Amino acid sequence: MRLNRTVAVLILLISIAWGVNAQEESISLEHVIALALEKNYDIQVVNNLATSAATDYKYSIGALLPAINANGSRTWNNDNRKQELANNTEVERNGIKSNNLSATVQLSWLLFDGARMFATRERLAQLEAQGMLNVKEQMVNTIAEVVNNYYNIVRQKQQLNAIQEQMLVSEERVRLADRRLQVGTGAKPELLQAKVDLNSQRTAVLQQETIIEQLKDQLNGLVNMQLPARYEVADTIIIDLGIHREDIYENIEKSNFSLLSAQKDLEIASLMLRERKGEMYPFLSFNSAYTYSRTENAVAINPFSTLFNRNQGYNYGFSLNLPIMNGFINRRNIQQARISVGRQQLIYEQGKIDVEVRIRNAFVDYENAKKVLLIEEENILLAKENLYITLETFKRGANTFIELRTAQQSLADAYNRLINARYLAKVAETELFRLNGSLLRQ
C-alpha cells in the first residue's frame, strides 16, 4: 500500500514537471541542425573562403583575353625661348604659348606561355571545388557537434530524472527510519544515513540542473544564440541499431569530405607542376597600338618651326621571349613542385589510413555500446524489481537497512550505465555517419 502511495507521489511529481516544461518551447534536433547550417560561425567562415575561391575562378577567364589600355593627355605650355641659329642669327621670344593633345590605345595579348594560363585556370577551378568540399566537411562536423550536444542534454535530463526517482526512495527511507526509531525498533544512525543520502541526492539534482543549463548554452552558441532563452529538448535518445560496416566503408574515398579535399590538394599540386613546366617554354605575345598626337604653337620663332603638327596611326607586331639562362630558377621551381606533389600524395595516403582507423574505432564503440545497451536494458528491470522487493521486505522488518541501501545504489548504478550506454551508442553512430558524409545527406 505504501509503495503504491510512493508511486502515486512519483506520478504527481512527473505531472508537475510536465506542467513546468510545457511552458518552455520544445526544440527538435532537426530545427537546431537547420539553424546551425544557417547561422553557425564556423560554417560562415569556411563558406566565405569558398566564395573567395569561386570569385578567383570566375574572373580567371581574363587571363585568356587581351589586355587593352588607353592613355590620354592634354598639355598647355607658356615658354620663354632664346635660340642661336647656325647662321649666327639670334631669336629671343617670351610668352610663347602652345598646347599638345595626345591619346594612345594599346593592346597586348599573350598567345602562348607553355599552356601555363590553362593550367592556372584549371587550378583555380579545383580550388573552387575544394572550397565547396571544405564547406560540406564543416557542415558535417557542425551537425555531428550539434547532435552530440543535443543528445548530451537528453542524457543529462535522463540522469536528472533517475536522481529524482532515487530521491523518492530516499524520502521513503527517511520516513521508515524515523518511524522505526520512534517505535524503538530502529537506530538513529540509520535515520542519519538516510538523511545524508537524501541531501546528497538533492545536491546532485542542483549539479545536474547546472550541467543541463550549461549544455543548453553551448548548443545555443552553435547556432549563434538563435534558440529561445529557455527551451526544452526531447526526452529520448534515438539510436539506429542497424548499421553495417560495409555500408560505412562503401565508396568511402568518394563520400568522406576530408579525403575528397585531400584529393583536390593532390590535383592542385599537379597543376602547379604544369605551371612551373610552362615557364620553360617561349612566351609569344601580340602587341598593337593606335596613337594620336596634335600640337599647336601660337607663334613660330624661326622659319623651321611648325605652327600645327598632327600624328596619328597604328602599329602591330609580335614579340617572343625565350628563357635561356636565369640561374636555374625554373629548374628549381619544377623540382620543388614535384616534391610538393609527392608530399600531397603521402598526405592523402595518410588520410585514408586515418579515416579507416577512425571508422574501425567508431564501429567497435558502436557494437560494444549495442551489446552493453541490451544488457543494461535487462539489468534495469532486475534492479527495479530487486529494489521493490527489498523495500517491501524492509517495511516488514525482514531485512536490514544496509540491504535496502545496497539495492537502491544498485538501481542508481544501473541507471548510470544504461543512460551512458545509450549516449555512447549515439555518439558512435554519429561518428560513423560523419566519417562517410551521410550526416549531410540525412
Q: Residue 16 has what pLDDT?
A: 42
The answer to whether residues 128 and 53 touch, using CB atoms and an 8 Å cutoff, is yes
Q: Is residue 408 part of a domain?
A: yes
Residues 105 and 125 in one domain: no
Is the pLDDT at 10 greater than 70? The verdict is: no
Give the side-chain half-sphere CA count within 13 A for 155.
21
* DSSP code at position 282: P
Residues 329 and 253 in one domain: yes
Q: Is residue 264 part of a domain?
A: yes
Cβ neighbours of 153 (radius 10 Å): 22
Residues 332 and 351 in one domain: yes
Q: Which residues are CB-contacts of 225 (< 8 A; sequence separation ≥ 6)?
A: none
Residue 110 to residues 33, 125, 129, 151, 297, Cα–Cα distance (Å): 50, 21, 27, 60, 41
Query: Rounded CA gap, 108 and 57, in Å?
Result: 22
Residues 107 and 117 in one domain: no
Cβ neighbours of 278 (radius 10 Å): 20
Q: Is residue 54 part of a domain?
A: no
Residue with cell 590620354: 72
What is the CATH classification number for the domain harbouring 132? 1.20.1600.10
Query: Rounded CA gap, 223 and 142, in Å?
Result: 10
Q: Residue 178 has what pLDDT?
A: 85
| Per-residue exposure over 18-49, b if at least 16 CB sit within 10 Å of its own CB, e if not | eeeeeeeeebebeebbebbbeebeebeebbee
Residues 355 and 406 in one domain: yes
Q: Is residue 61 part of a domain?
A: no
Cβ neighbours of 313 (radius 10 Å): 9
Backbone phi and psi for residue 303, each to the nearest 5 degrees, phi listed first? -65, -15
Read off the amino acid at residue 229. Answer: A
pTM recorded for the entire structure: 0.83
Q: Is residue 45 part of a domain?
A: no
Query: Rounded CA gap, 66 and 326, in Å?
Result: 27
Q: Residue 23 has what pLDDT?
A: 56
Quick check: helix, strand or coil at residue 120? helix
Is the pLDDT at 442 greater than 90? The verdict is: no
Range of the domain at 120: 2-39+113-282+325-441
The answer to whether residues 374 and 421 touch, using CB atoms and an 8 Å cutoff, is no
Please give the full DSSP string across 328-395, using - where no structure is assigned: THHHHHHHHHHHHHHHHHHHHHHHHHHHHHHHHHHHHHHHHHHHHHHHHHHHHHHHHHHHHHHHHHHH
416: its cell numbers: 548510470
Query: Rounded CA gap, 297 and 95, in Å?
Result: 11
Q: Is residue 296 part of a domain?
A: yes
Query: Rounded CA gap, 96 and 77, in Å?
Result: 8
Read off the amino acid at residue 19. Answer: G
Mean pLDDT value of segment 184-208: 89
- Beta strands 231-232 and 25-26: pairing type? parallel
Residue 229, H or E segment:
none
Q: Residue 5 has what pLDDT?
A: 45
Percentage of residues in the chain having pLDDT higher than 70? 94
Q: Is residue 342 part of a domain?
A: yes
Q: What is the pLDDT of residues 37-73, one digit of tens each?
A: 999 999 999 999 999 999 999 999 998 999 999 999 9
Residues 189 and 179 in one domain: yes
Q: Residue 90 has what pLDDT?
A: 78
Residues 211 and 295 in one domain: no
Cβ neighbours of 413 (radius 10 Å): 12
Residues 14 and 138 in one domain: yes
Query: pLDDT tier at 179 (50, 70, 90 boundaries)?
Result: confident
Residues 338 and 209 in one domain: yes
What total of structural domains would you count in the chain? 2
Residues 358 and 411 in one domain: yes
Residues 256 and 312 in one domain: no
Query: Rounded CA gap, 424 and 320, in Å?
Result: 68
Helices (H), 184-286: 188-222, 245-249, 252-255, 257-278
| Closest by Cα among 38, 110, 105, 45 to 69 | 105
Is the pLDDT at 119 greater than 90? The verdict is: yes
Is the pLDDT at 11 greater than 70? The verdict is: no
Query: pLDDT tier at 18 (50, 70, 90 boundaries)?
Result: very low
Residues 337 and 375 in one domain: yes
Domain-ending residue, one of 294, 321, 348? 321
Q: Which residues are CB-contacts of 30 (< 8 A; sequence separation ≥ 6)?
A: none
Q: What is the pLDDT of residues 146-166, one digit of tens each?
A: 999 999 999 999 999 999 999
Domain-ending residue, one of 303, 321, 339? 321
Q: Which of 21-25, 89-93, 317-321 has the highest mean pLDDT?
A: 317-321
Q: Is residue 57 part of a domain?
A: no
